[in-house]
Amino acid sequence: MIRVKVPATTANIGPGFDCLGIALSLYNEIEVEEIDNGLIIDIEGRDEEKIEKNENNLVYQSMLKTFQRIGYQPKGIKIKQYNRIPIARGLGSSAACIVGGVMAANGLCGKPLSTEEMLELAVEIEGHPDNVTPALVGGVVVSCKDEGQTTYIRFDVHEALKFIVAIPEVELSTKASRGVLPETIAFQDAVMNVGKSSLLVAALMSGELEKLSFALKDRLHQPYRIKLMDSLENIFTRGEDLGLNQLFLSGAGPSIIYLTWGEEAEKEKKFYHIIKEAPEEWTFQVLAGDNKGTSIS
Ligand SMILES: Nc1ncnc2c1ncn2[C@@H]1O[C@H](COP(=O)(O)OP(=O)(O)O)[C@@H](O)[C@H]1O
Ligand SMILES: N[C@@H](CCOP(=O)(O)O)C(=O)O
C-alpha cells in the first residue's frame, strides 16, 4: 500500500498569473495498491459525491499516464481518497489529484521517476505549472513553462503569514474561468503586472511583508474573472473601500484569500463581514503555508 498526502495550493497570488503559487496547510490523502484485476475507487470527505469513481477519475487517469511513462502495466488498482480540498474553488484540487496520482503510481513502481520527471508529467497533464509545482515541492514557488520545459525556484513560506480563505458553495472550473481571459492586453497592464509580481516575490522572499498590499494587484485575469460571480466584484470593491488591500482571487476562483500577518484583528473582522454580506453560502478556512509539499509513505 502506498499513501500520499498532497497540499492544496493557491496560484497566481494576484499578479503572478500562471507562474506563482503557494502550498497551503489543507491536504488530500490518497492510498493506492495493486490488486488482481479491475478498478476500485472509494472516496470520503469534502465534495465526495461530485467526484468520478470510475476510469475517468483524475487520480486514476494521472496514475495511468505515469504507468505509461514508466512502461509498467498493473493488473488492477484500488484507490482510497480522503478528500479535504474543495473541488473547482481555486484551491488546486485538480493539481492535488494529478501530483498525488503521479507520485502514488511512481511509488508503486519503486520510484523510478525523479522529482523533475514527475513534475514534467504533472505539468503536461494540468497544462500550467503554478499549482502542481508547489503541490509537489511545497513553499512559495516561482515556475515558468517554456517550450515544454518547466523551471522553478522555491522558498519557504514566511511563518507569520496567515491565509484566510473564503470558499463559496458555487463551483467555477478552471477551464471555464480561463475561457473569459482576453487574447491581448494593453502594454501598460502587462508592465504593471511584471512590476507587481516581481515586487510580490521579493517581498515574500525578503520578509518585507508590509509591501505585500502594494504588490497584490492584478490587471491580467482578476478584472475579467470577478464578473463570473455576482458578489465577487462587490467584495473586491468593498474590500478596497475598507483598506483591505491584501485580497486576491485564489487561483482561477471563486475562492478569495485575505493574506495577513501580525495583529490585524480589525481588518480580519471587516473581511469576514463583507463576505457574510454576499448572497451565496460561504465557508472559511484559516490556513498557514505548507513547506513540505507532497509526502509519500
Ligand atoms: N479529489 C478529487 N478526486 C478526483 N477528481 C478531482 C478531485 N478534485 C478535483 N477533481 C477533478 O478536478 C476538477 C476540478 O478541477 P479545476 O476546475 O481545476 O478546479 P480547482 O480550482 O479546484 O483546481 C473536478 O471537476 C474533478 O474532475
Ligand atoms: N494560473 C491558473 C491557476 C488555476 O488555479 P486553480 O486552483 O483554480 O486550479 C489560472 O489562473 O487559470
In eight-state DSSP terms, residue 88 is T
Do residues 182 and 243 both lie within one domain? yes
Say which ligand is closest to the CA of 47.
1
Task: Tell me the CATH number at 148.
Answer: 3.30.230.10
Rounded-to-integer distance, Cα 126 and Cα 97, Å: 10
Do residues 212 and 192 both lie within one domain? yes
Do residues 252 and 139 both lie within one domain? no
Count of domains for the chain: 2
Q: Is residue 222 part of a domain?
A: yes
pLDDT by residue (tens digit) across 184-195? 999 999 999 999
Say which ligand is closest to the CA of 172.
1
Q: Is residue 193 part of a domain?
A: yes
Q: Amino acid letter at 119? A: L
Burial of 227 (0-12, 13-18, 19+ CB in 10 A): exposed
Nearest CA owner, ligand 2 atom 3: 251
The whole-number pLDDT of residue 42 equals 98
Average pLDDT over residues 49-73: 97
Q: Is residue 297 part of a domain?
A: no
Domain that holds residue 271: 162-287
Beta bridge partners of 141: 21, 154
Query: Which ligand 2 atom minimizes the distance to the CA of 181?
Result: 12
Q: Is residue 177 part of a domain?
A: yes
CA of 262 to the centre of ligand 2 (A): 28
Do residues 55 and 167 both lie within one domain? no
Nearest Cα to Cα of residue 118 among 132, 131, 108, 130: 132
Rounded-to-integer distance, Cα 25 and Cα 42, Å: 23
The domain boundary residue, chosen from 112, 132, 156: 156
**The pLDDT of residue 263 is above 90:** no
How much of the chain exceeds pLDDT 70, in percent? 100
Ligand 2 pocket test, pick from 131, 197, 250, 255 with the greatest ligand atom count within 8 Å of Cβ, gives 131
The domain boundary residue, chosen from 156, 191, 221: 156
pLDDT by residue (tens digit) across 66-96? 999 999 999 999 999 999 999 999 999 999 9
139 CB within 6 A, ligand 2 = no
Ligand 1 pocket test, pick from 62, 79, 94, 173 with the greatest ligand atom count within 8 Å of Cβ, gives 94
User: What ipTM was reported for this prediction?
Assistant: 0.98
Task: Tell me the CATH number at 219.
Answer: 3.30.70.890
